[in-house]
């Protein structure tokens, strides 16, 4: 799993690439911590190159959301493949995040 | 009997008849008594009168006769002055007869040859003509008239014999007219005391008849006079006078009464006798031969006669009889009058009753508000009417209450119906319940004894396990049905996340014992059949052991645990057995074993076994046959308890394994990529597409990571084995580990509708597994957790 962090416009953008499974989750968790500092910014999670996500990964996204929401930061997810979209749908995450 | 019917039908008639009877009895009794009294008085009076008359008559006759006797005696005293001289004798005679009207003829009979010039016998006589009254002289001495001297019973002879005055027997004067006569003669004595002549006076007896006729006490009396020689001196039948011998005649007739009276009269007795008709007819003394008569008789001693009066009784009693007739007539009139008056009056008095009767009939038809008639009096009828009115109001009130109660009852019945429908809907209704499955066939049936019952059964499949239960609440009806509903709800909610029968039963027990105010309990059998393997785990709480119907038929061995709801901390035991495919598990409640027929005999276990032996097909057929058998057995008797049966047939067909591959990993999440490789290879072998492969990867990863995290406590090392197996219809992954018992299926479902703030971090894994896989199944076998994930192909 490889993550890339960028600031674009006023957004904090993170690119995910590869498989976000349970083994990769701890490391990714660390890397995502930079997004927690999102006061006044929106967050964009780019999943174009995300091949796979399991519950550990979903948990990370949820944790981020729980932090961002009180800070009035939107969390956008982009580039989600149909298969992964289904996974989000199965877990009800499609209601939690905004998709672009 | 008809008479009594008439009596019973009318108060007026009955009262009238009673009064009539009473009056009749009183009047008759009183009247009779009085009439008798009067008869007695009359009788006595008659008796007195008769006696008086008798005495009077006798005295009168005696007077007349004694007059003659005295005259002749007196003449005899002076006779020697006249009679001794021939010329002066007739002068004496003339004076004697002239002065005595009663003397019909006077004769002086000289003894023979007293006056020789007149021949041997000289008897001058003077006769009074009965018609003209002229006196005629005659001489009846002489040879041709010597009868006076010579007849044996002549005066001459007797007077000479007796030497004193002598009344002879009455005789008929045959010389001139036929007259009854009697003669009195007295001897004349000369200076020497020798009888030289007899002075004889004849007396016409017609006056006797007249006297006694006049002297009779009553007009209708009859009189007879009997002389000493049993000849009648006078008699109502003129022909009998001086013609028949009374006593001989009496003896001829052989009538004892006739003979008796005649004898007594001849004996100169005084007396009275009441004689019946026989004698009367014979004696010609009465005209009406049917009536009795009273006979009074007494002697006239001077002439030795006996006088007899007869008085017909019916004449005596004419007065009282008339009185009796009058009284009877009056009684009759009185009775008729009473009958009419009473009848009319009573009927009139009872007319209000008739009105009341009509009103009552109207009320009886259902018109409770009919107005009863007004009754002006304050008597019994009025009271009856008032009571009836009260009854009418009460009746109307009761009918209204009854209507309300009936409506209430109807609503209760309809509510019970609804409750029954609700209860029935709690049971699994559709059969077959799992048509898409080929490993299980189930049929269940519940017939409550009342509208709602206390038996329950339930089953559902979760994670490839059939969770089923059957139970019996203590009691019947609404209370039992409420407990039944609670028990079922508990079973469902607890076994949604608990697969161990003993824990399921314990939880139910705990929950029920807590709020058990009514001390109701439930016998319960909970079973969990692992459908892939046929492994049956079960816990029994006081329920009847189910039948296992396979190649053999036997009861499932069950531990004797307490029914649920009694002791909150009872430790329930779990038991296990293996069910071979095609076996039927047959569960039932005691409504089956204890089904009663009219003789109160029970259906019993043996019959169940017998039927189970004969039926070897489907659960539905088994239960239908059992039901039919019970119905036949019970017959007319009422269903005594709820009848519940559940039959579960394990029909799993073992399919051939097409593909098999496995991998063992240590419990380290970093091994996940290796797991992914494994899954990819399996999917490739199965020719799955990318999407399916990814999903499978996800499911397997989640399941395995769960096991790694929870089956092995932190820090421990252990292995997790993943085996993939496919047959014609499905692909399964079996994840085994030898960690602590950990059942991922026992976790509560995640609520995916919560908001971000509300969502919990955990629980996603299993949720995804469930979403992706067709079934998830957990078993603890020996010391290993076995988690099976299946996907249909």
Q: What is the pLDDT of residues B117-156, one digit of tens each?
A: 777 777 788 888 877 777 878 777 666 655 556 665 567 7
Q: Least CB-CB distance to A90: which of B673, B754, B768?
A: B768
Whole-angstrom Cα distance, residue B426 to residue B491?
Answer: 12
What confidence tens digit (pLDDT) does each residue in B593-644 have?
888 888 888 888 888 888 888 866 789 999 999 998 898 888 888 887 888 9
Report residue B565 as tokens.
């709801």
Highest CATH level, class, for B216-316: alpha beta
Query: B109 - beta bridge partners?
Result: B198
What is the Cα gyration radius of chain A?
12
Whole-angstrom Cα distance, residue A25 to residue A1?
Answer: 9
Give the ipTM: 0.91
Q: Is the pLDDT of residue B766 over 90?
A: no
Q: Which residue has the tokens 């014979």?
A: B282
B764 φ, ψ (degrees, to nearest 5): -70, -35
Q: Is the pLDDT of residue B758 over 80?
A: no
Do the chains contact at A54 and B759, CB–CB below 8 Å?
no
Q: Which residue has the tokens 């004969």?
A: B614
Whole-number pLDDT of residue B526: 96
The number of folded domains in chain A is 1
Across B771-788, average pLDDT: 90
Q: Does A80 touch chain B (CB under 8 A)?
A: no
Yes or no: say if B489 and B547 are a contact pair by the CB < 8 Å rule. Answer: no
Q: Does B756 touch chain A (CB under 8 A)?
A: yes
Architecture of domain B431-650 in CATH? Answer: 4-Layer Sandwich (3.60)
Q: Does B674 touch chain A (CB under 8 A)?
A: no
What confidence tens digit (pLDDT) does each residue in B151-162 have?
655 677 777 777
Q: Does A65 touch chain B (CB under 8 A)?
A: yes
Whole-angstrom Cα distance, residue B508 to residue B505?
Answer: 5
Report residue B649 as tokens.
């047939």
Q: Least CB-CB distance to B691: which of A23, A83, A90?
A: A83
For the residues of B555-568, what is the DSSP string, one character each?
EPP---PPPBTS-T
Residue B669 C-alpha, separation from nearest chain A C-alpha, in angstroms? 5
A87: chain B residues, CB-CB within 8 Å: 695, 698, 768
According to DSSP, the β-strands at B775-781 and B135-139 are unpaired
What confidence tens digit (pLDDT) does each residue in A81-94 have?
999 999 999 888 88
Q: Is the pLDDT of residue B754 over 80?
A: no
Q: Does A67 touch chain B (CB under 8 A)?
A: no
Q: Which of A42-46, B195-199, B655-659 shows the highest mean pLDDT?
A: A42-46
Q: Does B673 touch chain A (CB under 8 A)?
A: yes
Residue B461 C-alpha, separation from nearest chain A C-alpha, in angstroms? 22
Whole-angstrom Cα distance, residue B363 to residue B392?
Answer: 8
Q: What is the mean pLDDT of chain B?
A: 84
Q: Does A4 touch chain B (CB under 8 A)?
A: no
Do the chains contact at B698 and A91, CB–CB below 8 Å?
no
Do the chains contact at B768 and A86, CB–CB below 8 Å?
no
Share of chain B above pLDDT 70, in %: 94
Whole-number pLDDT of residue B143: 62
Q: Does B441 touch chain A (CB under 8 A)?
A: no
Whole-number pLDDT of residue B310: 81
Yes or no: say if B306 and B266 are a contact pair by the CB < 8 Å rule. Answer: yes
Across B577-601, average pLDDT: 89
Whole-angstrom Cα distance, residue B504 to residue B460?
Answer: 14
Helix H segments across B635-756? 672-686, 690-710
Whole-number pLDDT of residue B773: 93
Q: Which of B191-200, B315-324, B723-732, B758-767 shows the highest mean pLDDT?
A: B723-732
Q: Least CB-CB distance to B756: which of A65, A83, A91?
A: A65
Q: Is the pLDDT of residue B170 over 70?
A: yes
Angle at B119 between CA B117 and CA B124, to 5 degrees: 90
Confidence of residue B545 (pLDDT cuts 50, 70, 90): very high
Q: Least CB-CB distance to A22: which of B701, B755, B761?
A: B701
Q: Least CB-CB distance to A21: which of B701, B764, B767?
A: B701
Whole-angstrom Cα distance, residue B558 to residue B538?
Answer: 9
Q: Is the pLDDT of residue B439 over 60?
A: yes
What is the phi-psi region of residue B113: left when phi exceeds 0, alpha when psi lies from -120 to 50, beta otherwise?
Answer: left
B694: chain A residues, CB-CB within 8 Å: 51-52, 83
B673: chain A residues, CB-CB within 8 Å: 19, 21, 23
Whole-number pLDDT of residue B790: 93
Architecture of domain B659-792 in CATH? Answer: 2-Layer Sandwich (3.30)
Q: Does B694 touch chain A (CB under 8 A)?
A: yes
Whole-number pLDDT of residue B141: 67
Q: Does A81 touch chain B (CB under 8 A)?
A: no
Q: Least CB-CB distance to A62: which of B702, B759, B768?
A: B759
Whole-number pLDDT of residue B285: 59
Q: Domain range holding A63?
A: 2-99
Do the chains contact at B761 and A63, CB–CB below 8 Å?
yes
Do the chains contact at B756 and A96, CB–CB below 8 Å?
yes
CATH for the stretch B16-207: 3.30.450.20
Residue B662 C-alpha, separation from nearest chain A C-alpha, in angstroms? 21
Residue B739 C-alpha, separation from nearest chain A C-alpha, in angstroms? 20
Q: Does B755 touch chain A (CB under 8 A)?
A: yes
Confidence of residue B231 (pLDDT cuts 50, 70, 90): confident
Q: Is the pLDDT of residue B278 over 60?
A: no
Q: Does A62 touch chain B (CB under 8 A)?
A: yes
Do the chains contact at B705 and A56, CB–CB below 8 Å?
yes
Residue A72 C-alpha, separation from nearest chain B C-alpha, in angstroms? 13
Q: Which of B91-100, B128-137, B477-486, B569-578 shows the highest mean pLDDT?
A: B569-578
Q: Is the pLDDT of residue B734 over 90?
A: yes
Q: Among B207, B272, B240, B179, which residue's Cα sits nearest to residue B62? A: B207
Whole-angstrom Cα distance, residue A95 to residue B185?
Answer: 187
Q: Is the pLDDT of residue B77 over 60?
A: yes
A62: chain B residues, CB-CB within 8 Å: 756, 759, 761
Q: B750: nearest CA in chain A?
A: A91
| Chain A residues 24-53 within an 8 A CB cutoff of chain B | 51-52
Whole-number pLDDT of residue B731: 93
According to DSSP, the β-strands at B584-588 and B547-549 are antiparallel
Q: Among B61, B92, B87, B60, which residue's Cα sits nearest to residue B75? A: B92
Q: A91: nearest CA in chain B?
A: B752
Q: Is the pTM of this model over 0.90?
A: no
Residue B745 C-alpha, separation from nearest chain A C-alpha, in angstroms? 17
Whole-angstrom Cα distance, residue B688 to residue B319?
Answer: 150
- Containing B631, the helix (H) or strand (E) segment is helix B619-634
Do the chains contact at A58 and B764, CB–CB below 8 Å?
yes
Q: Does A54 touch chain B (CB under 8 A)?
A: yes
* Identical topology for domains B16-207 and B216-316: yes
Residue B788 C-alpha, separation from nearest chain A C-alpha, in angstroms? 19
How many other C-beta atoms can be found within 10 angstroms of the C-beta atom of residue B614?
Answer: 9
Share of chain B above pLDDT 90, in %: 22
Do the chains contact at A96 and B757, CB–CB below 8 Å?
no
Whole-angstrom Cα distance, residue B452 to residue B456?
Answer: 11
Q: Which of B108-117, B341-350, B363-372, B511-520 shows the highest mean pLDDT?
A: B341-350
Q: Is the pLDDT of residue A77 over 80?
A: yes
Q: Least CB-CB distance to A59: which of B670, B750, B761?
A: B761
Across B211-219, average pLDDT: 76
Q: Does B1 touch chain A (CB under 8 A)?
A: no
Yes or no: say if B178 and B43 are a contact pair by the CB < 8 Å rule. Answer: no
In sequence order, what E strands does B551-655 have? 553-555, 575-578, 584-588, 643-650
Q: Does B691 touch chain A (CB under 8 A)?
A: yes
Q: Which of B752, B755, B758, B773 to mutate to test the interface with A (most CBs of A within 10 A)?
A: B752
Residue A23: partners with Cβ closer than 8 Å, 6 or more residues away = B669, B670, B671, B672, B673
CATH no. for residue A92?
3.30.750.24
Q: B676: nearest CA in chain A?
A: A21
Report residue B352 as tokens.
């209000």
Q: Among B59, B69, B44, which residue's Cα sits nearest to residue B214? A: B59
Q: Least CB-CB distance to B764: which of A19, A51, A55?
A: A55
- Containing B610, the helix (H) or strand (E) segment is helix B604-614
Q: Which of B751, B761, B773 to mutate to test the interface with A (most CBs of A within 10 A)?
A: B761
Residue A5 C-alpha, separation from nearest chain B C-alpha, in angstroms? 24
Q: Which residue has the tokens 């009341």?
A: B356
Structure-derived torsion over alpha carbons of residues B541, B542, B543, B544, reported in degrees to the nearest 10:
140
How many A-B residue pairs are in contact by the CB < 8 A criterion? 72
Whole-number pLDDT of residue B291: 66
Q: Which of B3-7, B206-210, B247-251, B397-401 shows the highest mean pLDDT?
A: B397-401
What confidence tens digit (pLDDT) does each residue in B677-728 have?
999 999 999 889 999 999 999 999 999 998 988 888 778 888 999 999 998 8
Q: Is the pLDDT of residue B585 over 90?
A: yes
Query: B203 - beta bridge partners?
Result: B103, B182
Q: Least CB-CB distance to B752: which of A51, A65, A91?
A: A91
Q: Among B228, B280, B235, B272, which residue's Cα sits nearest to residue B255? A: B280
């Amino acid at each position: 799993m490889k993550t890339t962090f960028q600031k674009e416009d006023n957004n904090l953008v993170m690119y995910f690439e590869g498989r976000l499974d349970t083994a990769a989750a701890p490391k990714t968790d660390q890397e995502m911590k930079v997004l927690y500092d999102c006061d006044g910014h929106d967050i964009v999670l780019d999943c174009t190159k995300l091949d796979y996500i399991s519950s550990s990964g979903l948990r990370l996204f949820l944790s981020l959301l729980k932090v961002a929401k009180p800070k009035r930061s939107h969390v956008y997810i982009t580039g989600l493949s149909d298969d992964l979209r289904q996974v989000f749908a199965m877990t009800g995450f499609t209601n939690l995040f905004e998709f672009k | 009997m008809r008479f009594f019917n008439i009596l019973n039908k009318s108060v007026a008639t009955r009262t009238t008849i009673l009064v009539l009877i009473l009056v009749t009895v009183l009047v008759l009794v009183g009247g009779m008594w009085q009439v008798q009294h009067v008869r007695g008085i009359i009788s006595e009076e008659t008796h007195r009168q008769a006696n008086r008359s008798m005495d009077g008559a006798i005295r009168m006759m005696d007077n007349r006769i004694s007059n003659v006797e005295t005259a002749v005696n007196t003449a005899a005293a002076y006779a020697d002055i006249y009679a001794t001289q021939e010329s002066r004798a007739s002068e004496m005679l003339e004076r004697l007869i002239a002065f005595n009207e009663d003397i019909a003829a006077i004769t002086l009979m000289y003894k023979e040859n007293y006056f020789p010039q007149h021949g041997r016998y000289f008897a001058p006589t003077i006769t009074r003509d009965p018609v003209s009254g002229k006196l005629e002289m005659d001489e009846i001495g002489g040879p041709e008239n010597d009868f006076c001297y010579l007849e044996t019973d002549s005066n001459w002879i007797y007077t000479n014999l007796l030497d004193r005055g002598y009344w002879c027997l009455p005789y008929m004067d045959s010389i001139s007219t036929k007259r009854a006569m009697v003669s009195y003669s007295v001897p004349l004595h000369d200076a020497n005391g020798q009888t030289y002549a007899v002075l004889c006076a004849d007396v016409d007896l017609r006056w006797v008849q007249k006297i006694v006729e006049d002297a009779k006490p009553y007009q209708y009396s009859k009189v007879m006079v009997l002389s000493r020689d049993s000849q009648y001196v006078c008699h109502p039948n003129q022909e009998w006078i001086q013609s028949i011998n009374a006593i001989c005649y009496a003896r001829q007739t052989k009538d004892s009464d006739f003979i008796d009276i005649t004898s007594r009269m001849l004996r100169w007795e005084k007396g009275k006798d009441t004689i019946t008709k026989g004698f009367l007819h014979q004696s010609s003394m009465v005209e009406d031969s049917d009536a009795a008569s009273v006979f009074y008789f007494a002697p006239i001693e001077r002439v030795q006669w006996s006088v007899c009066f007869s008085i017909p009784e019916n004449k005596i009693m004419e007065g009282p009889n008339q009185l009796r007739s009058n009284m009877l007539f009056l009684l009759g009139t009185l009775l008729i009058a009473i009958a009419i008056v009473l009848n009319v009056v009573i009927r009139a008095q009872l007319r209000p009753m008739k009105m009341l009767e009509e009103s009552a009939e109207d009320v009886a038809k259902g018109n409770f508000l009919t107005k009863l008639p007004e009754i002006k009096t304050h008597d019994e009828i009025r009271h009856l009417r008032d009571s009836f009115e009260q009854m009418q109001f009460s009746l109307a009130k009761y009918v209204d209450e009854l209507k309300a109660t009936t409506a209430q009852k109807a609503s209760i019945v309809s509510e019970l119906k609804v409750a029954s429908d609700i209860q029935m809907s709690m049971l699994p209704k559709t059969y077959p319940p799992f048509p898409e499955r080929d490993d299980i066939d189930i049929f269940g049936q519940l017939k409550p004894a009342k509208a709602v019952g206390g038996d329950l059964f339930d089953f559902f499949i979760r994670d490839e396990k059939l969770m089923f239960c059957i139970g019996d609440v203590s009691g019947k009806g609404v209370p039992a049905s409420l407990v039944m509903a609670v028990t079922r709800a508990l079973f469902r909610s607890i076994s949604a996340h608990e697969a161990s029968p003993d824990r399921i039963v314990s939880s139910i027990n705990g929950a029920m014992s807590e709020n058990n105010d009514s001390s109701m309990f439930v016998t319960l059998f909970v079973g969990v059949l692992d459908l892939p393997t046929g492994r049956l785990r079960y816990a029994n709480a006081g329920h009847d052991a189910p039948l296992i119907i396979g190649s053999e038929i036997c009861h499932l061995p069950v531990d004797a645990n307490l029914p649920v709801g009694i002791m909150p901390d009872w430790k329930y035991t779990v038991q296990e057995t293996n069910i071979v495919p095609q076996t039927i598990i047959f569960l039932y409640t005691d409504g089956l074993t204890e089904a009663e027929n009219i003789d109160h005999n029970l259906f019993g276990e043996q019959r169940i076994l017998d039927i189970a032996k004969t039926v070897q097909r489907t659960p539905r057929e088994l239960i239908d046959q059992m039901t039919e058998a019970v119905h036949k057995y019970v017959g007319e008797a009422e269903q005594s308890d709820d009848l519940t049966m559940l039959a579960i047939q394990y029909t799993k067909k073992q399919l051939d394994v097409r593909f098999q591959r496995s991998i063992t990993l240590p419990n380290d999440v970093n091994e996940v990529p290796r797991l992914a490789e494994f899954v990819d290879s399996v999917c490739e072998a199965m020719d799955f597409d990318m999407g399916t492969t990814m999903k499978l990867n996800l499911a397997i990863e989640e399941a395995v990571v769960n096991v790694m995290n929870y089956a092995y406590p932190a820090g421990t090392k252990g292995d997790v084995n993943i085996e993939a197996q496919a047959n014609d219809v499905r692909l399964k992954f079996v994840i085994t580990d030898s960690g602590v018992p950990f059942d991922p299926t026992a976790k509560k479902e995640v609520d995916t509708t919560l908001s971000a703030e509300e969502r919990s971090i955990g629980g996603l894994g299993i949720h995804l597994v469930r979403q992706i896989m067709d079934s998830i199944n957990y078993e603890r076998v020996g010391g290993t957790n076995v988690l099976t994930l299946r996907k249909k192909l």
